[in-house]
């Protein structure tokens, strides 16, 4: 069982107040994010057709839930794992102009997920995507968007404090930017999770740039699919990557805590390069990839922001199951119940 039990843990709010606080957080965050990034709300699919290249492959090893459609000639569909590629198709089909974008409530099932304090087989996040110009495909623009998102995260933390003064704000005024290679240089003897813990504890909030490309030790900081984030284009300091993760320090679990994965998306050149690196060139013939290679999809930046992750952080809960209904192993439920962790 993968479970951390904080010493002498006591929830800040009871179950009823937690449910009310979840709505407060989601309503305010969704509105402020849309305003800050100029996003329209759209409806999202729960499933997509299999074999179209639309579903998110995540790190490449997770298997989506699949089922056959009776009235569609036996075609199979997949429950989405995220909407990273679907959103880009939507930008094109909806005719969204540069400087504007879309967001949606994404509900996904990831059956291969390891269940622990911060992971569930059910994923709920705000998936967003914004059209950009060729001139905006650079590291400075990426940082600009990260700062806008972080300003929303800070704003909502204060709103939570206004309603629940027993939950004190802890986020720093500024988010720290660091490339994953520089992070490796700082802590060459630590594994990626341990490096994240060190940097997050020191700065409180950090954006780690360059997730997916090999670092000097021959390993990536973490795996990324080859066909949405651009993790191979060189930045101004010679490192690779126009993507990254927003991570904060979680004082309850005493560890780094990922809030969002995001980045500037692949253009044609980066797509072909990353398909070659990952030996997945056959994807060029899938629906999504053909549209991208035929210049039918706009350049974009986008990502996902975990809804339950944010609620968990804001409300200082020890387990994601305190803010989200899912399926939990019986032994986990038993241990949690005996340690004041009440799973929904």
Q: Which domains does the chain have, with CATH numbers?
A: 15-337 (3.30.930.10)
CA dihedral 196, 199, 203, 205 (to 10 degrees): -20
Catalytic, 130? Answer no
Across the range 65-69, mean pLDDT stands at 88
What whole-number distance in Å separates Cα of residue 238 and Cα of residue 13?
A: 47
Catalytic residue among 30, 57, 110, 309: 110
Catalytic, 245? Answer yes
Catalytic, 31? Answer no
Catalytic residue among 56, 124, 127, 136: 56
- What pTM did the predictor assign? 0.94
Q: How far is CA 340 from the centre of its chain?
A: 28
- pLDDT at position 51, please? 85
Going by pLDDT thresholds of 50, 70 and 90, the confidence category of residue 114 is confident
Count of residues in the chain: 344
What whole-number distance in Å separates Cα of residue 194 and Cα of residue 211?
A: 15
Catalytic, 258? Answer yes
Catalytic residue among 82, 125, 181, 240: 125
Catalytic, 120? Answer no
Catalytic residue among 129, 157, 230, 245: 245
Catalytic, 217? Answer no
Stretch (H or E) spanning 105: strand 101-109
> How does pLDDT run across 166-222, given as a tens digit for each residue?
999 999 999 999 999 999 999 999 999 999 999 999 999 999 999 999 999 999 999
DSSP letter at 113 equals P
Residue 232 contacts residue 240 (beta carbons within 8 Å): yes
Q: Does residue 71 surpass a pLDDT of 90? A: no
Catalytic residue among 32, 116, 182, 258: 258
- pLDDT at position 339, please? 96
Q: Does residue 60 surpass a pLDDT of 70? A: no
Percent of the chain predicted with pLDDT > 70: 99
> How does pLDDT run across 220-275, given as a tens digit for each residue?
999 999 999 999 999 888 899 999 999 999 999 999 999 999 999 999 999 999 99
Mean pLDDT, the chain, whole residue set? 94
Residue 223 contacts residue 260 (beta carbons within 8 Å): no
Strand partners, 300: 131
> How does pLDDT run across 116-142, given as a tens digit for each residue?
999 999 999 999 999 999 999 999 999
Catalytic residue among 82, 180, 240, 261: 261
- pLDDT at position 157, please? 98
Q: Among 5-14, 50-59, 106-115, 154-163, where is mean pLDDT lowest?
A: 50-59
């Amino acid at each position: 069982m993968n479970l951390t039990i904080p010493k002498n843990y006591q929830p800040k709010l009871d179950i009823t107040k937690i449910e009310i606080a979840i709505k407060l957080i989601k309503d305010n965050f969704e509105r402020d994010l849309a305003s800050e990034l100029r996003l329209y709300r759209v409806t999202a699919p729960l499933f997509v057709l299999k074999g179209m290249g639309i579903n998110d492959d995540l790190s490449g090893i997770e298997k989506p839930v699949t089922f056959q459609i009776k009235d569609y000639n036996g075609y199979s569909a997949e429950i989405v794992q995220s909407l990273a590629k679907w959103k880009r198709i939507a930008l094109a089909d909806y005719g969204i102009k540069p400087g504007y974008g879309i967001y949606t409530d994404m509900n996904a099932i990831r059956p291969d997920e390891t269940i622990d304090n911060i992971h569930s087989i059910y994923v709920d996040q705000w998936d967003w995507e914004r059209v950009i110009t060729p001139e905006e495909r650079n590291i400075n623009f990426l940082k600009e968007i990260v700062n806008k998102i972080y300003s929303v995260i800070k704003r909502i933390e204060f709103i939570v404090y206004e309603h629940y003064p027993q939950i004190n704000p802890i986020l720093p005024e500024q988010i720290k930017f660091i490339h994953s290679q520089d992070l490796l240089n700082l802590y060459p003897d630590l594994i990626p999770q341990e490096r994240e813990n060190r940097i997050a504890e020191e700065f409180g909030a950090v954006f780690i740039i360059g997730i997916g490309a090999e670092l000097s030790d021959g390993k990536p900081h973490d795996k990324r699919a080859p066909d949405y984030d651009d993790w191979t284009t060189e930045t101004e300091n010679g490192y690779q990557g126009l993507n990254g993760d927003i991570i904060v320090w979680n004082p309850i679990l005493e560890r780094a805590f990922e809030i969002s994965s995001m980045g500037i998306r692949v253009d044609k050149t980066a797509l072909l390069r990353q398909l070659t690196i990952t030996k997945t060139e056959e994807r060029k013939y899938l629906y999504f990839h053909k549209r991208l290679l035929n210049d039918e999809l706009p350049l974009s930046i986008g990502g996902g922001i975990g809804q339950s992750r944010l609620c968990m952080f804001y409300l200082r809960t020890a387990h994601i199951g305190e803010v989200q209904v899912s399926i939990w192993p019986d032994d986990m439920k038993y241990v949690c119940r005996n340690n004041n962790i009440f799973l929904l």
